[in-house]
Structure 1
Amino acid sequence: MVKAFKKLHGGDLSKVDMFVGRMMETTPSGPGELFTQTLIDQFTRIRDGDRFWFENEDNGLFSEEERKALMNFTLSYVMQNITGKKMNDDLELQDDVFTVSQDGACSLKMFFNESDLEKCHKPKKYNFFKGSEIPYIIIWTCLGLLPFCKSL
């Protein structure tokens, strides 16, 4: 693949687009070094640029104790409080909601099947031009006559 990229870019890999290069270095185990650094940089900038971010001490929104308490919140904790359900109730919510556990409370009991989807409707077609033919003709006629008006 590297040989093909060198040939495509005249032997100079520095001409490879950064987005393409990031995607090319991504492996099944995760993003490569460039992609990882880009993600870290972007999320750091988003966090540091957010004046309401809970770790921002200058905004005065949270005390030190409240910031420490917020550091212990997880997405599963937030979801439990919003839904009013607790772990392993009928919600079957695991601690780490970002991964799928085959043997945990959230094991895959059924694989998603296309037959479970409701049928798609054909998209509607709209004619945005219908009913505006006369104004369209008038506008383009006026625009076409503008050069002649300057000479008067």
Structure 2
Amino acid sequence: MQPSKRVDIVSVKLVKEASMLYRNRRIRSPQDCYELFKEFLGEVDREYFVVMCLDVKNQPTNITIAHIGSLNLSIVHPREVLKTAILSNAASIICCHPHPSGDPTPSPEDVDVTKRLIEAGLIVGVEMLDHIVLGDDSYVSMKESGYFENE
């Protein structure tokens, strides 16, 4: 006869660490995303993969850093990106990461991770609206650039 095993009883919750004011109530364009993400991140020297959760009216509800990478690499897993979205009952997400090189051109890895996140979001019911790549003074909206066409 095997001995009994103890099972932990747990709960999961989001913890608010801080807040920031956002002058627009809704996200209406990639430019709105760029401005909010730029304000949130400031000047960073490595890749941060950031997720903004939105409600059904495209109002940001929270922002989280899903991963901090190195100078030119960030390993992003859909589980980590969608965790906050699921816990906060988000209708959709917009992802963002800076290229410390200053060139916002999406890399092949950026394209691959975006496709994986779109697919994972469809499975769990959280739509990925865009993936913004930040440069020094510019950005690329992967949706506007056609990377979402094969959704």
Bin for the TM-score computed over the shorter chain: under 0.3
Task: Pick the structure with greater CA Rg.
Answer: 1
Structure whose residues are more often helix by fraction: 1
Structure with more contact order per residue of length (Cα contacts < 8 Å, sep ≥ 6): 2
